[in-house]
Amino acid sequence: MKPSDLKPNEYAPYFLNYINQVSEEYSMKEELEISVHRLIKFVQNIPLDKFDYRYAEGKWTIKDILQHIIDTERIFVYRALRIARNDRTELPGFDENNYATEANGSSRSIQSLLTEFTTVREATLSLFKSLSTQELLRIGTASNNPVSVRAIGFMIIGHQNHHQKIFEERYLS
């Protein structure tokens, strides 16, 4: 499955930005596996003095954003699991700013964040590799919008790619 396989009714329009940041080169499952290594290698090459840098007042640090990526992936995967198992319960949104404040990612080491990210991605991969085509195509409701399980997989990758691009443009330039 590639991003171009998605139909517009499988995700809210505001997620198109993330989906458009996923390459057509690999399948979703391949890209979930490859992209974890891409981000880790990228982060390991960031100068140490940049991890606690904020490019503007009130903006998150690189550590905060890494924690945000982890938290968001966990929430997206939870949604994917519920929808894949044909749970028809509408799933609520979440306040990423509140999560960032409460998670206190800036107080953590880069190594602990990367270790957690790897662990979360391994769990994500295990789930997505276990799902049938029928389960991947299931559509549920999250944040008052329809979303398919496969769209969630692409959103996870695109969300990560989006923030890596932000690192490059706003934190490292």
Tokens of 74: 């966990």
Q: How many CB atoms lie within 10 A of CB 124?
A: 23
Q: What is the pLDDT of residues 44-70, one digit of tens each?
A: 999 999 999 999 999 999 999 999 999
Q: What confidence tens digit (pLDDT) does each residue in 146-156 have?
A: 999 999 999 99
CB 35 within 8 A of CB 157: yes
User: Which DSSP state fits 78?
Assistant: H
- Mean pLDDT confidence for 133-161: 98
Q: Going from the N-terminus, what domains does the chain have, and what CATH number goes with each?
A: 3-171 (1.20.120.450)
Flag whether pLDDT at 173 surpasses 90.
no
| Single-letter amino acid, residue 105 | G
Query: In the chain, where does DSSP find H-type helix?
Result: 16-19, 28-44, 62-84, 96-103, 110-130, 133-137, 149-166
Res 41: pLDDT? 97
Question: What pTM, to 2 d.p., does this model score?
Answer: 0.96
User: Which residue is it, tokens 């057509």?
Assistant: 24
Q: Which position has the token pair 């139909």?
A: 7
3-state secondary structure of 149: helix
Provide, rounded to the nearest whole percent, the portion of the chain with pLDDT above 90: 99
